[in-house]
A and B are shown apart, each in its own frame.
Chain A
Amino acid sequence: MIGRARRLATWIAAIMFAVMFALFVYKIVMRYAFGDAVAWADELAVLLFMWVIFWGYAFVVPDREQIAFDLVYRALPVTPRRVAGIVRAVLVGGLLAAALPTICGYLLFLNRTQTAVLRWPVGWVYSCFAVMIAAVVARSAVTVVRLCGSAWEREL
């Protein structure tokens, strides 16, 4: 179930990237061959870039692949590592959870403004940021539950 959802999310991200690249090619051809600066393609490419980052971080990139300074963490014996994992998930997940309601409120507020070219409501366009925050909060919660449970060693 989760595996299938992640595959779907990966496909969506890959397609977003491919469309972003196609927009670049289209834009370059239009500009140099026809002298037409297609500003909408520029804007859409930037927005796709932002979605690839946050969508990808929320649903595609596995935790172990992320760039972390884990020299200390990995050197710990298992029990302190379990504690460190719980503290980390509570600290980071907690702070992001604390910020999430304000972020969502602010995004709704931003819907009063529109993007420069496509005239899309900014709040929805930027909503990938809230999606990423929510995903990290959810993942942190799962980590805490698992590390506190009986099968905690599998989670390390």
Chain B
Amino acid sequence: MHASLGSIVLIGVFVLAAVLGSPVGLAMLAGGIAYLLVTHQDLGLLVDQTMNSLYSNYVLLAVPLFIFVANTMNASGVTDRLLDLSSALVGRFRGGLAQVNVLSNLVFSGMSGSAVADAAGPGLIIARMMVRKGYEPGFAAATSAAAATIGPIVPPSIPMVFYALIANTSVGAMFLGGLVPAALMALSLMAIIAVLARRRDFPREAPIALGAWPATIGRAFMPMLLPVILLGVIYSGIATPTDAAAIAAAYALVLAYLVYRSARWPEFVGTLVQTVHSTANVGMIIAGAFVFNYAIASENVPQALQAAIIHWNPSPLLFLAGTNLLLLALACVLDAITMLLVLIPLLVPIAVSLHIDPVFFGVLVILNMMIGLALPPHGLLLYVMSSLTQTPVGAIFRNVLPFIVALLVVLIAVTLVPDLVLALPRHFGYRG
């Protein structure tokens, strides 16, 4: 495989700009421009690749809508309701509040689709509660960071929308495929907490009275309906994923501003502004990736890579193991959306030619990326929790390691048993 001048310039400029601290989207755009210049192609392609691709990929509109849902839910105080329910369920165990952290993340992630939103929302609230109860701050922040990785495995999921777009698979099948692995992640984290709780003598919460159960469940019922509605409308074929995202956003607005009336005009404006910030940031990475991927594709990199790997002829399992290692290693330096948009177009065709189901592969890829988000030394969630809770990153690194081990066990189990992902979508009619 000989690297052409074009691909050297493309990757060289991208890496140089990124290492010098340029935002990822801009670095990809700059690399793309340098590529077009040295290969004497028309710079008008920049407009075609970004704007036409955004215009024609309608499913991308689900992304800002899911961001909006997460921000609205965070602003509406729904977190408290989910927290009460989780607390009622698992609070009375030793290390109860840490267990509550994991469980409420599992429930809340059913409405957000973004791991960072989960960490900044319920993750932060519970981490603060844990510190007040006497947990070590590093452990509290690490628990929230590890629990937030569950978020994008449970529908709705922004990374899954990206994957489905790139790999041309069904968003609905992806969403269903994530449910069992997400439950396993929660179980494994909770098991680790149970072990640590005994060893480090964590406190318990007071159990709630039997009579308080119906009210606690009732208070959390309407928010918990959101993922059900979402999956329901997508899977019954009533609505496209994009429309479903809009329905979810409307439901979140009704809950926050009409039913609970817990948020008002200033929160609404704040939510909109926050959503614009995230949308612009993510959108620029998407735009940069469209240009970057155009250059990669016109240099025939995917074909060359595919030919090289097929020539080497690995077993599917070996390929999956290699993918896991590659993604975890890259997650230490790249952000999840960039990896998804740049690497997946290279990997999916190879996976398909090795007869690996694209939905299974997608869930596995996203699982890797989420673990990567909590992986020292670059995991974004660790830094988000560190800055939100004012805890030194080092203390979080130390405490997150047992959780990483637990999540890796789930990753290995899913890699070995594809049915953990595929059984549910197949049961609901996914043919693959």
8 Å CB interface, B282-326 against A = 282-287
On whether the beta carbons of B17 and A57 are closer than 8 Å, the reply is no
Tell me if B272 and A24 are in contact (CB < 8 A): no
> A10 and B273 in contact (CB under 8 A), knowing A67-B281, A69-B333, A95-B30?
yes
A68 and B277 contact, CB distance less than 8 A = no
Cross-chain contact B283 with A57 (CB below 8 angstroms): yes
Instruction: Give Cα distance in the complex from A156 to B86, angstroms.
Output: 44
Q: Are A126 and B276 in contact (CB under 8 A)?
A: no
Q: Determine if B16 is an interface residue (Cβ-Cβ < 8 Å).
A: yes
Residue A147 at the B interface, CB < 8 A? no
Cβ of B281: which chain A residues have Cβ within 8 Å of it?
57, 61, 65-67
From B19, B43, B64, A69 is in contact (CB under 8 Å) with: B19
Majority SS at the chain A contact face: helix
CA of A64 to CA of B221, assembled, Å: 39
In the complex, B34 has a CB within 8 A of chain A = yes
Contact in complex: A24, B65 (CB < 8 Å): yes
Q: Which of B58-88 contact A (CB under 8 A)?
A: 58, 60-61, 64-65, 68
A14 touches B269 (CB 8 A): yes
Contacting pair A71 B37 (CB below 8 A): no
The answer to whether B61 touches A46 (Cβ under 8 A) is yes
Listed residue (A17, A28, A70, A136) with the most chain B CB atoms within 10 angstroms of its CB? A17
Nearest CB in chain A to that of B23: its residue: A66
Size range of the chain A interface in the assembly: 35 or more
Residue numbers in A under 8 Å from B61 (CB-CB): 45-46, 49
Known: A65-B281, A73-B20. A10 touches B25 (CB 8 A): no
Q: Tell me which of A69, A72, A74, A126 has the highest count of chain B C-beta atoms within 10 A of its own C-beta.
A: A69
B interface residues, Cβ below 8 angstroms from A: 13, 16-27, 29-30, 33-34, 36-37, 42-44, 46-47, 50-51, 54-55, 58, 60-61, 64-65, 68, 238-239, 243, 246-247, 249-250, 269, 272-273, 275-277, 279-287, 333-335, 337-338, 377-378
Closest 4 pairs (CB-CB, A-B):
A53-B283, A56-B280, A73-B21, A106-B44
Pairs A–B under 8 Å by Cβ, sample size 17: A21-B246, A49-B279, A52-B280, A53-B279, A57-B281, A57-B284, A60-B277, A65-B281, A67-B281, A68-B22, A70-B21, A71-B333, A74-B21, A88-B17, A88-B20, A91-B16, A99-B46
